Amino acid sequence: MIEKLRGCLGVGAILTLITILPNLSIFAQEDELALASIKTIVIDAGHGGKDPGCHGGYAKEKHVCLSMALKLGAKINALYPSIKVIYTRDTDVFVELDERAKIANRNKADLFICIHANAASPAAYGTETYVLGLHRTASQQKIAERENSTIFLEDDGGEKYSDFEMTPDAIIARQLQLSVFLDQSISYASKVQSEFKSLGRHDRGVKQAGFLVLYKTTMPSVLIETGFLTNPKEEKFLSDSLTQEKMAGAMFTAFKKYKNELEGIEEQVDPSEYVVPVEKIKPEEPVANDDVIFRIQVETSESRISLTSAKFKGHTVFEYEQNGLYKYTVGVHKNDFKGANQMKTKLRSVGFNHAFVVGFHNGQRINLQKAINLAEK
């Protein structure tokens, strides 16, 4: 494997990979379970305490970020009381960048949401959401450098990072190490941007950059730039409690859609059963009562999609409805999770980037881990 990578990666990335490859199996196991449940979320309000972040004429990043973070967490707690919400800070205190990531890692978070506000010229406006990667423009690099500069406010002046360099090689290696989480990060980031757009916000897109806090987390992670405090109109928007509520609501709606897509479980269902009523499997597909059917979900939509749509690339598609959404799967694997997982990998390689395995039993969609256990029996 190292030899194959040598042609496309630098020496630094190769050396990094040598040290991380033994841990890749851990992430692969989690991928096979398609992150079957979301139990813990860490919400990180950017900056705080002696670090005000960027500012406009009167508003400070640390304050608007904390307000939106707390509002988002409250919404998640209200609808999903079984999900543990952890804040890296819930008051105006300074938290080191390294510690923010450690909080998420220690608590084995299933999603890390970092909330920030942006700064540029007074004319700049809009929202953008980042995942870990290589920046493509000077402005993206500048944003990452500004957010990372918080380390110089730490007690040791950033000394503990002196041997830590986020070179392109290191970032590429880290992306490979956490590749099973990248799709989930992009999925949530895309949904966030879509919900912001529905509020009338300018969509600057999903982007990549070398944010230290994303580099050090080991789960799906995003950094949300909610707007530009250096733009007077956006400063007013981000400083108002009512519009902060709307922004938190957009992040929350994105989370609901992300959770539904990832899990396919209604929160009201008894967790001991993990069963969600859905359409019956097509009658022309005879299955025994004890058979488990694994399929690969490739699309979710709020409106019905033609089964012959070009987006399915000629595959025979099975549709089912759940939580008010139409969901589309391909493949029929009776009691064969391994075969379904292999097909998922092939589908991702041909453009179905968010494909994942789902399980059915007696015509009902069930929790993936339960489906695997039943198939093994």
Number of neighbours of residue 55 by Cβ within 10 angstroms: 17
Alpha-carbon span 106 to 108, nearest angstrom: 5
Element (H, E) at 241: helix 241-263
In this prediction the pTM is 0.58
Q: Which two tokens stand for residue 106?
A: 């220690």
The answer to whether 333 and 295 have CB atoms below 8 angstroms apart is yes
Beta bridge pairs of residue 116: 225
Q: What pLDDT is stored for residue 289 in this prediction?
A: 60
Q: If you count DSSP H runs as helices and E runs as strands, how many of each does the chain have, helices first?
A: 13, 12
Angle, nearest 10°, between helix axes 337-349 and 368-376? 130
Amino acid at 247: M
Q: Over its length of 377 residues, how does the chain's per-residue pLDDT go in tens digits?
A: 333 333 334 434 433 443 444 444 334 333 434 444 799 999 999 989 998 988 899 999 999 999 999 999 999 999 999 999 999 999 999 898 888 889 999 999 999 999 999 998 999 999 999 988 754 556 555 555 555 556 555 565 555 555 556 556 555 565 555 666 888 899 999 999 999 999 999 999 998 877 778 888 888 999 999 999 999 999 999 999 999 999 999 999 999 999 988 876 544 433 333 233 333 333 334 445 678 999 999 988 878 888 878 888 888 888 888 877 888 999 999 999 999 988 988 888 888 888 899 998 888 888 888 888 888 87
Q: What pLDDT is stored for residue 34 in this prediction?
A: 40
All domains in the chain, ordered by first residue? 2-263 (3.40.630.40), 275-376 (3.30.70.1070)
Alpha-carbon span 75 to 97, nearest angstrom: 25
The answer to whether 50 and 89 have CB atoms below 8 angstroms apart is no
The answer to whether 295 and 331 have CB atoms below 8 angstroms apart is yes
| CA atoms within a 13 Å half-sphere pointing along the CA-CB vector of 304 | 7
The three-state secondary structure class of 221 is strand
Q: Which residue has the tokens 């009167």?
A: 58
Q: What pLDDT is stored for residue 147 in this prediction?
A: 58
Q: Which two tokens stand for residue 186?
A: 């992009």
Q: Residues of 69-105 as b/e, b for ≥16 C-beta within 10 angstroms?
A: bbbbbebbeeebeebbbbbbbeeeebbbbbbbbebbe
Q: Which residue has the tokens 């033609």?
A: 306
The answer to whether 352 and 295 have CB atoms below 8 angstroms apart is no
CA 167 remoteness from chain centre: 23
Number of neighbours of residue 127 by Cβ within 10 angstroms: 25
Of 348, 198, 364, which is closest to residue 356 (Cα–Cα)? 348
Q: What pLDDT is stored for residue 209 in this prediction?
A: 75
Of 48, 46, 50, 44, which is closest to residue 157 (Cα–Cα)? 50
Strands (E), 236-355: 275-276, 292-301, 317-322, 325-334
Angle, nearest 10°, between helix axes 241-263 and 179-198? 140
Strands (E), 164-220: 203-209
CA dihedral sign of residues 215, 220, 226, 227: positive
- Rounded to 10 degrees, the C-alpha dihedral 92/97/98/99 comes to 10
Q: What pLDDT is stored for residue 139 in this prediction?
A: 57
CA 156 remoteness from chain centre: 32
Alpha-carbon span 125 to 119, nearest angstrom: 9
Gyration radius of the chain's alpha carbons:
22
Q: What pLDDT is stored for residue 85 in this prediction?
A: 97
